[in-house]
Amino acid sequence: MKYVLRIIALLILAAITGCQSALIAPLNPFDKKDTPFEIKVPQNNTLQRVLADELVLYRANLEEVQFSQPRKIAYQERQLLIKKLRSEGYYSNKVKTVLEREKFIYLVEPGPRYRVSRVVVREPEDISIPSNRVKLKAGAPLLAKDVLAGQSTLHDYLLDNHCLFRPEVNYRVLLNHAKHSAEVIYLITESPEMVFGSVQMEGLTTIEKDYLLARLPFKAGNCFKRSQLDKARLQLLQTNLVASISIEEQEPVDNRVNVTLQVTERDHHTVSAGAGFESEEGFGVSVGWEHRNLLGRAEKLSIDGHVAEFARSLDASLTFPHIWRDNQALTVYSELSSENPDAFQSETGTVGVELSRQLTKHIRAQIGGELAFSKVTEDDSSEDYALLSVPMNIQLDYRNNPLDPTSGWVAGLNVRPYWDAYDTDTRFLHSTIAASAYLSSARLWGRPTLALRSAMGTITGIDRTDVPANIRFYSGGGGSVRGYAYQGLGPTTDGEPSGGLSFSEVSLETRLRWGQSWGGVLFLDGGTAYESATPKPGEDLRWGAGFGLRYYTSFAPIRFDIGFPLDKRDGEDNNYQIYISIGQAF
């Protein structure tokens, strides 16, 4: 009998389970997140789309859903829609759920949209906040995102304008259902003002602590602001000496906040190498070595060598940053060079000093003094010079990237008076001006960049034949007018380039990119040098045109250009010239 009762009980349980399965069976389509749903908001398609997007996002973010209980899921989604309606200002809403065989249906009655009746900011007596800081105004729809934006704005204002350790801004929303409105009240918690206490720096091995401390935007006793901590991290990273920085502020003691900076130094040494090729000049190779922290205060020692068919050089420079003031640097340099182009041959030794100052973010000025001893051979006659000069230049740079600009512009003016210590009657003024501009469009195919460059120069106060040949102006070649030989444009003597007292050049490029690494260029260059000291923009220019490829690396593009002379001279110009180097042409 006992076994009979057990069998009957099992049969009853199976029957009940079967009935439940039968009841749930029509809802089996709800076993996936993409089960169809429909939201109906009469006469408000915009709100209907907002609610639908919210539900799609909600389902997409769910990791797992037990859809064997569809009514529970419908309840959860209904609560989600109610919450979203309130965030949009609909506080008298009604949402009904209908479960059909194939989908959920949500019937929404949003009711009237509540509006802001008044915005109140309650701050302690020692804190004053301008009334225009909060953009939320009376009469605006009561949107949750606007209320939170006001809270964030007030919090940021306190951080930027008051010395608070952890400012708190809370808010209350008082609803008036009869008038379908709300009063928004922001509450600023009273907090004592703080100052920076001691500043500790740990982890240094070769950098002098005082040097980095001097780079910080704050000192002990200054008003405590967290924005200053972020600025400090950025300024230390910009020294190029530090790999990473962690900043920890201690709990306040006697209204003073002590700060500890944990610093990890970078490797201060760099070895570099480069190569290039031009049809006339042949291959060129450059190598360099750099120490960015020679004496412990970011002094940079650079040694570079260059060897090509027409030129060889070895130069060294030592730069002292932040000398006498933060935005100023002093560089001492020397160079040994030998040049052997068709126009002349020269052997030169140079020593100089340069003081540079960053006047603004985009404007930099430089002035210096230089003495160059050279022996220049031209037309089988040699002459020695000891040229003392005072180079001065100013540059306005608004480019977005100096090595591969796609927008902005740059302009520079260089003026350098010369005196010959061997012949005090030899003195002249060497001046150049150049400008480039860039305009891009990311919407067009190839993301084209239109680049334009123009340059002019003049030498005044002296006859052309009295100017050392290595100082005169020449035109033609990879950095000038592509398609023509190096220094191949301008005055000639017995068929050889002899240089001019002025020059004029212009270039136009259309740069295209495809994929992550490849690009192409179409270019038109024009230019020449003149015997007179007055350049003639647009007159007597010789033009070259061509195309090129670019391979974009993480630091600069590698370029390959082929230029063709459009004003080819019989017996003087080749059919084409090839140029390979690093970086854009300008």
Q: What is the pLDDT of residues 114-167, one digit of tens each?
A: 999 999 999 888 888 887 888 899 999 999 999 999 999 999 899 888 888 888
User: What's the pLDDT score for residue 67?
Assistant: 52
Position 15 scores a pLDDT of 45
Q: Where are the domains of the chain?
A: 22-109, 115-188, 199-265, 269-582
| 22-109 and 269-582 agree in CATH topology | no
Helices (H) and strands (E) in the chain, counts: 6, 28
pLDDT tens digit string along 319-334? 999 999 989 999 999 9
The mean per-residue pLDDT over the stretch 24-51 comes to: 71
The predicted model gives 237-253 an average pLDDT of: 91
Give me the pLDDT at residue 210, please: 92
Mean pLDDT over 235-262 rounds to 92
294: pLDDT strictly greater than 70? yes
Q: Is 276 exposed, middle or buried (0-12, 13-18, 19+ CB in 10 A)?
A: buried
- Residue 583's pLDDT band (boundaries 50, 70, 90)? confident
Q: What pLDDT does 282 receive? A: 74
Rounded distance between C-alpha atoms, residue 565 and residue 573, angstroms: 7
Give the pLDDT band (50/70/90) at residue 190: confident
- Kindly tell me if the per-residue pLDDT of 34 is higher than 80: no
Residue 466 scores a pLDDT above 50: yes
pLDDT at residue 10, rounded to an integer = 45
The CATH fold assigned to 115-188 is Ubiquitin-like (UB roll) (3.10.20)
The stretch 211-237 carries a mean pLDDT of: 91
Split at pLDDT 50, 70, 90, the class of 103 is confident
Comparing C-alpha atoms, which of 462, 492, 461 is closest to residue 474? 492
In CATH, 199-265 is 3.10.20.310: yes
Between the two ends of the chain, the Cα-to-Cα distance in Å is 102
Band (pLDDT 50/70/90 cuts) for residue 178 is very high
35: pLDDT strictly greater than 80: no
Q: Would you state the pLDDT for residue 193?
A: 87
What pLDDT score was predicted for residue 570?
Answer: 80
Q: Confidence band (pLDDT; 50, 70, 90) for 31?
A: very low
Q: Where are the beta strands (DSSP E) in 279-327?
A: 282-291, 300-308, 311-321
pTM: 0.71
- Which residues, listed in sequence order, are joined to residue 392 by a DSSP beta bridge? 367, 415
Q: Is the pLDDT of residue 80 over 50?
A: yes
482-525 tens-digit pLDDT? 999 888 898 888 878 889 999 999 999 999 999 888 999 999 99
Classify residue 583 by burial, with Cβ atoms within 10 Å: 0-12, 13-18, 19+.
middle
DSSP 8-state assignment for residue 31? G
φ, ψ (nearest 5 deg) of residue 232: -65, -45
pLDDT at residue 74, as a whole number: 86
Of the listed ranges 10-24, 41-55, 556-570, the one predicted with least confidence: 10-24
Residue 310: is its pLDDT beyond 80? yes
Q: Distance between CA atoms of 138 and 241, rounded to whole angstroms?
A: 52
CATH fold label, 269-582 = Porin (2.40.160)
pLDDT for residue 14: 45
User: What percentage of residues in the chain have a pLDDT greater than 70?
Assistant: 92
- What does the pLDDT read at residue 176? 95
| pLDDT at residue 222 tops 60 | yes
What is the pLDDT at residue 68?
56
- Of 536, 380, 531, nearest to 467 by C-alpha is 531
CATH number of 22-109: 3.10.20
202 or 67, which is more confident? 202
Q: What is the mean pLDDT of residues 456-465?
A: 94
**CB of 183 within 8 A of CB of 143?**
no
Which among 527, 510, 516, 514 has a CA at the least distance from the CA of 566? 527
User: Which is more confidently placed, 221 or 131?
Assistant: 221
pLDDT of residue 505: 95
How confident is the prediction for the chain on average, in pLDDT? 88
pLDDT at 96 over 50: yes
Q: Report which DSSP code applies to 380.
A: T
Looking only at the bridges linking them, the beta strands covering 256-265 and 195-202 are parallel
Q: Tokens at residue 561, please?
A: 């250009």
Residue 492's pLDDT is what?
87
Rounded to 10 deg, the angle between the 144-161 and 70-87 helix axes is: 60
Burial class of 473 by CB neighbour count within 10 A (0 to 12, 13 to 18, 19+): buried
pLDDT of 18 over the 50 cut: no
